[in-house]
Amino acid sequence: MPDATALDQATTMIEKAWGRPIEALESLAVRRPSDEPLLRSAMRIRSSLVVTDNAVAVHQDRLHALTQDHRLSGRPSRRSSREPDFPSGHQSRDRST
């Protein structure tokens, strides 16, 4: 499993340890948490991995979208680096006079 995520590895390990599919184990952990405290703990850790895995996927998608628009491509912007970015209607003070 070299390309497997931590979530995939945790799911496989939990399914092997309890000998059931993850869907059945999720409902068992919710319905009777006192019967299997170790299962409940493993499922809580797995649920945090689900959240983390989803967050990583969202950030990767955002980064991919930014790089597709050449926003982070290393190209210089069209605006000169010496030009300040003032809101419209605002003027800078010229201190040379």
Segment 43-86, tens digit of pLDDT: 999 999 999 999 999 999 999 988 886 655 555 555 545 555 54
Residue 97 has pLDDT above 80, yes or no: no
Of 75, 67, 22, which Cα lies nearest the Cα of 45? 22
Separation between Cα atoms, residue 31 and residue 74, nearest integer Å: 53
Specify the pTM: 0.61
Helix (H) or strand (E) holding 39: helix 37-68
Question: How many other C-beta atoms are found inside a 10 Å radius of the C-beta of residue 29?
Answer: 23
Per-residue pLDDT, 90: 47
Separation between Cα atoms, residue 10 and residue 45, nearest integer Å: 9
Query: pLDDT band at 31, cuts 50/70/90?
Result: confident
Separation between Cα atoms, residue 14 and residue 21, nearest integer Å: 9
